[in-house]
Structure 1
Amino acid sequence: MPQLRGRVTLATVAASAGVSVATVSKVLNGRSDVSESTRARVQEILRQHDYVGRRPEPPVERATVELFYQGFLNSYSVEVIQGVVEAGQAADVDVVVRTHPPRGHNRGSGRAAPWIRELAASGRRAAIGITSELSEADLAALARARLPLVVVDPIDIAQPDVTSVGSTNFAGGMAATQHLLSLGHRRIAYLGGPPTSGCNQARMNGFRGAMEAAGAEVPKEYVWMREFLYEDGLAGGAALLDLPEPPTAIFAGSDEVALGALEAARARGLRVPEDLSVVGFDDTQLARLASPQLTTVRQPIREMGAVALRTALQLAAGEKVDSHHVELATRLIVRSSAAAPARVPSGAVS
Structure 2
Amino acid sequence: MVRTGSASVAAGPTLAVVAREAGVSVPTASKVVNGREDVAPETRRRVTEALDRLGYVRRPRFDASRAPRLVDLVVHSLESPWSGAVLHGVEEAAHDAGLEVVVSAALTRSRSGRPERGWLDRLVTRGSSGVLFNLAEPSEAQYAWLEQYRIPFVMIDPVLEPPPGVVSVGAANWQGGVTATEHLLALGHERIAVIAGRRRTPCDSARIAGYRSALASAGVRQRPEYVQHAGSDRTAARRRTHELLDLPEPPTAVFVCSDGMALGVYEAVAERGLTVPDDLSVVGFDDLPESRWVTPALTTVRQPLSEMAATALRLLVRMMDGSRPEADRTELSTRLVTRASTAPPRVRRPSED
Q: TM-score, normalised by structure 2?
A: 0.74
The answer (yes or no) to whether the contact 1:280–1:294 under 8 Å persists in 2 is yes
Q: Give, in whole Å, the separation in 1 of the partners of 2:244 and 2:84.
A: 29
1:85 aligns with 2:122: no
What is the correspondence of 1:64-143 to structure 2 with a 5 Å cutoff? 64-70=70-76, 73-99=79-105, 100-102=108-110, 104=112, 113-143=117-147
1:177 offset after TM fit, Å? Answer: 0.3
Name the SS for the 1:339 alignment partner: coil
Following superposition, the deviation at residue 75 of structure 1 comes to 2.1
Contact 1:70 1:103 in 2 (8 A): no
**Segments of 4+ in structure 1 off by > 4 A?**
none
CA–CA distance in structure 1, aligned partners of residues 348 and 216 of structure 2: 19
Q: 1:162 to 1:101 in 2, by over 3 A?
A: farther
Aligned with residue 215 of structure 2, among 191, 194, 211: 211
Partners of 2:328 and 2:111 in 1: CA distance? 22
One-letter identity of the residue aligned with 2:312: A
Q: For residues 105 and 320 of structure 1, what CA distance do their matches in structure 2 show? A: 27
C-alpha contact (below 8 Å) 2:196/2:230 kept by paired residues: yes
The amino acid that maps onto 1:176 is A
Aligned residues with identical type, % of pairs: 41
**TM-fit CA distance, 1:207:** 0.6
Structure of higher CA gyration radius: 1
Pair 1:327 & 2:335 matched: no
TM-fit CA distance, 1:294: 1.0
Distance (Å, rounded) in 2 between the aligned partners of 1:325 and 1:73: 27
How well do the aligned residues superpose, as a CA RMSD in angstroms?
A: 2.4
Partner of 1:153: 157
Distance 1:243 1:98, change over 3 A: farther
Q: 1:163 aligns with which of 167, 178, 183?
A: 167
Cα distance 1:291–1:148, how it changes in 2: closer, same or farther (>3 A)?
Answer: same
Q: How far has the Cα of 1:264 moved from its partner? A: 1.4
Alignment partners' CA distance in 2, 1:169 and 1:101: 26
- 1:16 alignment partner in structure 2: none
Aligned partner (choices 175, 179, 203) of residue 175 of structure 1: 179
State the alpha-carbon separation in 2 of the partners of residues 158 and 125 from structure 1: 21
Aligned mates of 2:195, 2:164 — CA distance in 1: 25
Q: Which runs of 5+ in 1 are unaligned?
A: 1-58, 346-350
Report if the CA contact (8 A) 2:179-2:336 is conserved: yes
Counterpart CA distance in 2 for 1:293 and 1:132 is 30
What is the CA-CA distance between 1:103 and the residue it aligns to?
A: 5.8
- Superposed counterparts of 1:172-321, under 5 Å: 172-321=176-325
* Aligned mates of 1:317, 1:151 — CA distance in 2: 18
Greater CA deviation, 224-233 or 264-273? 224-233
User: In structure 1, how many angstroms separate the alpha carbons of the residues matched to 2:114 and 2:341?
Assistant: 40
Q: CA deviation at 1:344?
A: 7.8
Query: Structure 1 pair 61/114, CA: closer, same or farther in 2 (3 Å)?
Result: closer
